[in-house]
Amino acid sequence: MDSKDQYINDISEIKNIMERSSRFISLSGLSGVFAGLYALVGAWLVFDRMYSTEGFIYSRAFKYTYSSDIVFMLSVAIGVLVLAIATGIFFTTRKARKEERKIWDNTTKRLLVNLLIPLITGGIICLILLDKNQYLMVPPATLVFYGLGLVNASHHTFRDIRYLGITQIALGLIAFMYLGYGLLFWAIGFGIMHIIYGASMYFKYEK
Amino acid sequence: MKNPIEKLDKAFENRVRLGVMSALMANEFMDFNSLKELLNVTDGNLASHLKALENAEYISMQKEFIGRKPNTKYKATKVGRNAFGKHLEALEELIKNNN
């Protein structure tokens, strides 16, 4: 027997076990694609209601802002979030079952805790901003904190999530500089980036 | 020069023991059932290899209760981590020198 092959085999076995035991790899890329689609539909609904279509394609000027509009935007955002999470759970459970892995183990718990710490912090900050009528700050803040959550959680899953997180943080920071274009950056970050990364992960790991 | 094969740790010759140690390097703690599922081995097989690693003082064991169910957690000791590191170095050296 070729002993060199044996040693290479040992090393790859070690790597494989370390990965499997410490990373959550049932995350399905399709959940990203669908989350992105929902976000684009949501952004379009808000755009359609809130922005003047006269003049520029994307006009900064709100036609009017009523408190009912704020409620409308929040409802759309929450609707997008709930749908995205539900679809994510569906595809990820399906992938886990196909690969005969447990969906709920220590790696899942660590992934969620690390994702939720920045995410809940960001959520509370957004509520404070809303309370102080700083509506324009909310979309950039959601992008930045979501990005931080992803980077923080990425140690426990695919590497791609780290780059998605960094992309969201960068978009959020740019959006802070161009307040008023929040919806556009929001659509790029939560919509287009989710679709791109989700599709790339799907073809990389699930095809 | 010393033959690098001699630097390989006998404790890790066995697949199960190598697997247990790899998992404990990547995780702070692992419980018995997670290890069993991860490595796809029987209770008895896993228990005997865990005992061997424990006797070598490469891993330590901690018993606790979750509700009424006993739960045994394993952890790599400092000695074990060093030994595993040396074993990896020896493997790498063997692969390089065998070209």
Average pLDDT per consecutive 10 residues, chain A (207 residues; last block may be shorter): 77 88 88 96 88 56 67 91 94 87 82 95 95 90 96 92 97 93 93 96 90
Residue B16 inside a domain? The answer is yes
Chain B contact present for A3, CB below 8 A: yes
Backbone φ and ψ of A2, nearest 5°? -75, 115
| E-assigned strand segments in chain B | 30-31, 59-66, 69-76
Q: What is the reported pLDDT for A89?
A: 93
pLDDT digits (tens, 9 = 90+) for A123-170: 999 999 989 988 889 999 999 999 999 999 998 899 899 999 999 999
CB contact under 8 A, A105 and B34: yes
CB contact under 8 A, A11 and B95: yes
Residues of chain A with Cβ-Cβ distance to B34 below 8 Å are 21, 105-106
What count of other Cβ atoms lies within 10 Å of the Cβ of residue A133? 9
Query: Mean pLDDT over all residues of chain B?
Result: 88
User: What is the rounded distance in angstroms from the CA atom of residue A62 to the CA atom of residue A64?
Assistant: 5
Q: How many distinct structural domains can be found in chain B?
A: 1
CB contact under 8 A, B22 and A21: yes
Question: What CATH number does the domain containing B58 carry?
Answer: 1.10.10.10
- Choose between A153 and B95: higher pLDDT: A153
Residues of chain B with Cβ-Cβ distance to A8 below 8 Å are 95
Considering only residues 22 to 51 of chain B, which have any Cβ-Cβ distance to chain A shorter than 8 Å? 22-23, 25-27, 30, 34, 37-39
Chain B contact present for A99, CB below 8 A: no
CA-based end-to-end distance of chain A: 34
Burial of A33 (0-12, 13-18, 19+ CB in 10 A): buried
Read off the tokens for A175: 């959006």
Backbone φ and ψ of A125, nearest 5°? -60, -40
User: Angle B15-26/B43-55 helices, nearest 10 degrees?
Assistant: 70
Q: ipTM higher than 0.90?
A: no
User: What is the rounded distance in angstroms from the CA atom of residue B53 to the CA atom of residue B60?
Assistant: 9
Residue B56 inside a domain? The answer is yes
Indicate whether this model's pTM tops 0.90: no
Chain B contact present for A1, CB below 8 A: no
Residue B2 inside a domain? The answer is no
Residues of chain B with Cβ-Cβ distance to A10 below 8 Å are 18, 91
Q: Identify which of B26, B37, B91 has the shortest CB distance to residue A18.
A: B26
User: Among positive and negative, which fits the CA dihedral A116, A117, A123, A124?
Assistant: positive
Structural domain that includes position B24: 10-91
CB contact under 8 A, A18 and B25: yes
CB contact under 8 A, B91 and A7: yes
Q: What is the reported pLDDT for A197?
A: 96
Q: What is the reported pLDDT for A135?
A: 85
Residues of chain B with Cβ-Cβ distance to A156 below 8 Å are none
Q: Identify which of B30, B91, B98 has the shortest CB distance to residue A11.
A: B91
Chain A contact present for B10, CB below 8 A: no
Q: What is the reported pLDDT for A1?
A: 47
